[in-house]
Amino acid sequence: MPVPWASPRNLSGRPANSPVKILERGHVARDIMSIILATFERRASVRGTSRRRSRHAGSENAAYRNGRKIRKGEVLAYGRHLLDYSAKMMSATLAEIPEGVYRAEDFLDDDGITDQPQRIAVTIRIHRRKAEVDFTGSAPQCAGSVNAVAAITQSAVFYVFRCLLDDQVPATSG
């Protein structure tokens, strides 16, 4: 999704607040997943009682539910199922939209610093149960605080498409 304005960078050089992919081409990104699981383990052990702490200390990449140990593979399988299900529901919803190119534009009155209107332009291409969203033609980065980094823009697009789905469909990247 091309976004014409710049986004701030963090110390690693990646865009600040940039999303990370847990799945890449259908395979789990093990390095990212290990960071996520380790983070949850640490938080749970810090917040939990000493009994819970000892449980987490002796188990790597494990979680507990009702006293039953849930293994990493089980969590990943459930996650994959949710992603597949929501992808199938989104695909079915997009199939109901006639294929084609849809365009819209609107303007912010100003950026809070200057009196210049700020154009927001979007082109949405629906093709083969997929949507491509392009903001080319929108105003460039401006002096005021109305700039949206990629994560904010992607979140807004996600929300718009999420609103097309039934409430029962889980909100995932599927």
Q: Write the CB contacts of 168 (distance below 8 Å, at least 6 apart in sequence).
A: none
Q: Give yes or no for a contact between 70 and 64, defined as CB atoms under 8 angstroms apart.
A: yes
Q: What pLDDT does 71 receive?
A: 79
pLDDT at 134: 96
Backbone angles phi, psi at 133, to 5 degrees: -115, 125
Burial of residue 90 (CB within 10 Å: 0-12, 13-18, 19+) is: buried
Distances (CA, A) of 61 to 30, 32, 37, 81, 138: 12, 13, 6, 20, 44
Which sign does the torsion angle of CA 89, 95, 96, 102 carry? positive
Alpha helices (H) along the chain: 30-47, 50-57, 72-95, 150-162
Can you list the residues of the chain whose pLDDT is less than 50? 2-12, 16, 46-47, 49-61
pTM above the 0.75 mark? no
Residues in the chain: 174
Q: What are phi and psi of 24, to 5 degrees?
A: -125, 115
Which residues, other chains included, contact 39 with Cβ-Cβ below 8 Å and sequence gap of 6+?
none
pLDDT of residue 50: 46
Query: What pLDDT is attached to residue 81?
Result: 87
Residue with tokens 């050089």: 13
d(CA 159, CA 97): 17
